[in-house]
Amino acid sequence: MKLLNQSLNYLSISILTIITAWSVLFYFNMLNEIKSSIDEGLENYKRLIILNAQQDSTILTKTYFDESFFTIKQIDKQQALKVKDSYVDTVLYMQDADDEQLEQEPVRMLITAFELNDNYYELKVANSMVEEDDLIKELLKDTIWLYISLLVCIVLINNFVLKKLWTPFYEFLYQLKAFRLGKSKLYPKVKTKTKEFLDLQDTVTNLLKHTTDVYDQQKQFIGNAAHELQTPLAITINKLELLIEDGQLQDKQANDIAEVMNIIERLTRLNKSLLLLSKIENRQFFQNEQILINDVVKDSLSNLKDIIDYKKIKVTVNENKKASVNIDKTLASIIISNLIRNAVFHNVETGYISITIEKESITISNSGNNVSLDENLIFKRFYKPNQESTGAGLGLAIVKAISDSFNFQVTYAYKNLEHSFQVVFS
């Protein structure tokens, strides 16, 4: 989840909680204010009824609710002493002008007691809450709409504000992603006055400068190593070849020199592989273009045709799809040729190799030793399944390094006496 969306989520949840609590409190506060206003009216109505009862005793005989909305019932002194003024919400049967018959309507009722001429009476005074109830419903609707409107407006405003606030950060991040060691000349810059973003720019710039210096030093070292090591090794091999061709050596001496030449040639191949691995890890191969893996497979098989024919290996290529990959041409050739060479050199005589090409993957399967390789070590440097292997143990490590550089997935599997390597280009 993007930082902008995450910030917006936290902010929205906080605002939602605050507005919800405020809306509930506002609604119940307004409801209490309305009921308090009605209760004051009932209290005033009570005093008027008692005052009128002192002047007109017939009022004391009113035992049912009518348009006057009160009833009086005589009670004894003990009952009267127990009665305290209380306000309750209840319903009464009433008939409005548009009603065909009596219907229950909400009312607010005051229940109290009073003394008159040494007699005690219970008084119930009611006030219709039909209009107040409608008012409360409208108030609730308005509160809900206000709540929704505020929430939407706050989210939209915050989204705009936060997006504007984080724009320099995302622009800086885009520049940082596009930065390439050894190629990019300008360091990422952020256009803002925000101190934190400026501090981030300074920190990243210092880090990139240090990384670039280390990269240049490493690149120079690799170049020097390639020249300083390859040249003496090549000269040594030439000198030894001249000694053998001279014809003045004894057979044992010639054999010893041939063994030394083999060792030097292995050292030369090892040196080239290590330099290649260092270049891959330092991302010095990034002249990317659309490469057709099908063509790379054909070229690799053509280069290995002699050894394939010599070992009488049957090769089957299943081109189910055209696999087009954006990759450096040299690296594409290395990753495919290394896997095919691995399938050829670790195969058995009269064995087979099966190559399946899909739109986003290639699978190379081969016959070979009837023992599974160690999946945890197979892509490690200098790993050899047995001591008899003459290779440097870097071929699959190079394949893994290239795959990691381009976010490919390379896997190994052993099933039904068959070794399989698969590279997924996605």
CATH number, domain of 145, equals 3.30.450
Beta bridge partners of 119: 116
The residue among 260, 281, 302 that closes a domain is: 281
Looking at every residue in the chain, the average pLDDT score rounds to 80
- What are 135-153's pLDDT values in tens digits? 677 777 877 787 788 778 8
Q: Are residues 250 and 381 in the same domain?
A: no
Asked whether residue 339 falls in the same domain as residue 360, the answer is yes
Please give the model's pTM, rounded to 2 decimal places: 0.47
Domain presence at residue 101: yes
* Confidence grade of residue 172 (pLDDT, cut at 50, 70, 90): confident
pLDDT at residue 270, rounded to an integer = 64
pLDDT digits (tens, 9 = 90+) for 276-309: 666 666 666 567 788 898 999 998 898 888 888 8
Domain count, the chain: 3
410 and 316 belong to one structural domain: yes
* pLDDT category of residue 364 using cuts at 50, 70 and 90: very high
Contact 178, 184 (CB under 8 A): yes
Domain finish residue from 227, 246, 281: 281
340 lies in the same domain as 201: no
How far separated are the first and last CA of the chain, in Å rounded? Answer: 21
Residue 262 to residues 227, 249, 269, 271, 359, Cα–Cα distance (Å): 21, 18, 11, 14, 41
Please check whether residues 268 and 305 belong to one and the same domain.
no
Asked whether residue 189 is assigned to any structural domain, the reply reads no
Q: Which of 264, 281, 298 is the last residue of a domain?
A: 281
Do the Cβ atoms of 258 and 243 come closer than 8 Å? no
Same domain, 269 and 313: no
Could you tell me if 296 and 250 lie in one domain? Answer: no
- The pLDDT of residue 385 is 64
Based on the domain organization, do 145 and 66 belong to the same domain?
yes
Any domain includes 346: yes
Whichever domain contains 392, its CATH number is: 3.30.565.10
Tokens of residue 151, six digits: 């929430």
Domain check: are 414 and 397 in the same one? yes
Q: What is the average per-residue pLDDT within 38-56?
A: 87
Q: Are residues 276 and 293 in the same domain?
A: no
Q: What is the mean pLDDT of residues 157-161?
A: 76
CA distance 8 to 267: 59
Quote the pLDDT of residue 279. 66
323 in the same domain as 265: no
On whether residue 81 sits in a domain, the answer given is yes
Judge whether residue 47 has pLDDT over 70: yes
- Reported as a single tens digit per residue, the pLDDT across 371-424 is 777 677 787 876 666 655 555 567 788 888 888 888 889 988 888 888 999 999
Q: Is 77 in the same domain as 117?
A: yes
Residue 386 lies in a domain: yes
d(CA 105, CA 96): 10
Q: What is the 3-state secondary structure (H, E, C) of 56-85?
A: CHHHHHCCCCCCCCEEEEEECHHHHHHCCC
Query: 178 in a domain, yes or no?
Result: no
Assess if residue 255 is contained within a domain: yes
Exposed, middle or buried: residue 109 (CB in 10 Å: 0-12, 13-18, 19+)? buried
Interatomic CA distance for residues 199 and 189, integer angstroms: 11
Q: How confident is the model at residue 18 (pLDDT cuts 50, 70, 90)?
A: confident
Quick check: 112 and 83 in contact, CB under 8 A?
yes
Q: What's the angle, vertex CA 180, arms to CA 411 and CA 203, rounded to 5? A: 110
In a domain, 166, yes or no: no
| Angle of CA points 211, 212, 214, to nearest 5° | 65
Residue 211 is predicted with a pLDDT of 82
CB distance 182 to 217 below 8 Å: no
Domain range for 294: 288-424
Who contacts 341 (Cβ-Cβ below 8 Å, separation ≥6)?
A: 300, 304, 395
- What would the mean pLDDT of 70-83 be, rounded to a whole number? 87
